[in-house]
Structure formats: structure tokens, C-alpha cells
Amino acid sequence: MWVYAESFTNQVAAGESVVDSPNRYVRVDGPSPLALLGGGYAVLYPAMPILTNGTGDNRVQQIVDDAQAAIDALVESGVTARDKCAVGGDSYGATTAVLLLAHSSLFKAGIARSGAYNRTLTPFGFQTEVRNLWEEMEVYLALSPFMAADHIAAPLLLIHGEGDRNVATSPEQSKRMYEALAGLGKTVRLVLLPFEGHAYTARESIMDVAAEMLDWLNTYVK
């Protein structure tokens, strides 16, 4: 399940369906998780709407509920079994994936690429959150999987470009998440890609990322 939580301010907007053309070709660009199809995995990009309407908006529980609903649908349709699901994501999707590992037992393994895991390091807003850390510390801490590292049981693969200049996703985010999990005795691996930024472009990097992800899932899921 390749996740990315989308924020909305009302239920009407969150409930709107997006209709795409059934005739569109599927393209596997760059380090796409669709490369995992060749390894025998089904890849789902689930709808993950969350309502962000102020203090106590319970975003983490909404993310967990979205993931649970997606897994229920997959199991009911016969695509997978409940004990064969993994979660991954890029950037804010990576943060979402690690939050799911920290606050649920839905997944056997996780993959997080170029994410931000400690929101106190981005104190002046992130995504659609415009309040700063000191105005809404509860939200910042709740959306920091680093703070719940001791609750993560599933093996986690962290990947990050060493040259990531995105202010929210410095490589230090992955390094500190790795150090926390390793210090707690968790199963974790950190892969740093030389000369890569927030997105990965070199052929060597793309091939390495695909190999790392496939090996991780074969080891801890299949």
C-alpha cells in the first residue's frame, strides 16, 4: 500500500470522487513502487482523506481508519491476506507510512523514502498546517512518528537522498529516525543515496531503490 494522506477542511470536499480515464497507460517512472509488481506484489494507491479542522482533529486515527478500510476491501476481494500487507510512501507519504506503523498493527513491514519524522524540526508549518509548533504543539507531536518510535514493531526500510535540500525533509530526519529505532533494538535499515535530492533520478539510484524495496518485502513480508 503506497500511501499519501490528503488534507481537507470539510467532508464534502473529502468525499468527492476523482474519475480517471480507463484508457490511460500505466507508466513505471523512476523509482516507482509499481516495479514491485514484477516481484509478485499487488500495489494499491489508497484514497486517504483526512479532515483538518482545528485542535483535536484526530488526524492519526483518521489515517489508521483509511488504511484499515483499504485492507478490508483488499482482503474481501481476495487480493491479499491480512498478514501479507506492507506500507510505504514518499515525502509526506513516508511520514504517513511510519505513523501507520507506530499507531497500528496492520502491516508486516514498511518502506519510507525521503520523509519527515520529527515535526518539531519543522516548527513553522507543514503540508496544510499553518499554525506553528508553539500554537499547536499537540498536533506537531502527534504527527511525529519519531516520538512514537518505541511503538514501532514492524521492520522499517528508510531511504533518503544525501543531497535533499527540501527544508522539511533534510537527510537528518531519516538519520535520526534510524538512530532512534536502532537504539530501541528495532529492525531497521537506512539507505543514503549519494548526490540525490528529494527525488531520485540517477539510473544507479533508481535500480538500487527497486532492489532494496524488493529485497525488504521478500524478507519480511513474502
Could you list the active site residues?
91, 164, 198
Q: Count Cα neighbours of 77 within 13 Å in the Cβ-side half-sphere.
A: 9
Measured distance CA(179)–CA(120) in Å, rounded? 17
Q: Which burial class, exposed, middle or buried, applies to 178 when counting CB atoms under 10 A from its CB (0-12, 13-18, 19+)? A: buried
Q: Alpha carbon 41 to chain centroid distance?
A: 17
Measured distance CA(73)–CA(75) in Å, rounded? 6
Q: Is 93 helix (H, G, I), strand (E, B) or coil?
A: helix
Q: Which amino acid is at 151?
A: H
Measured distance CA(183)–CA(219) in Å, rounded? 22
What is the residue whose three cell numbers read 543515496? 193
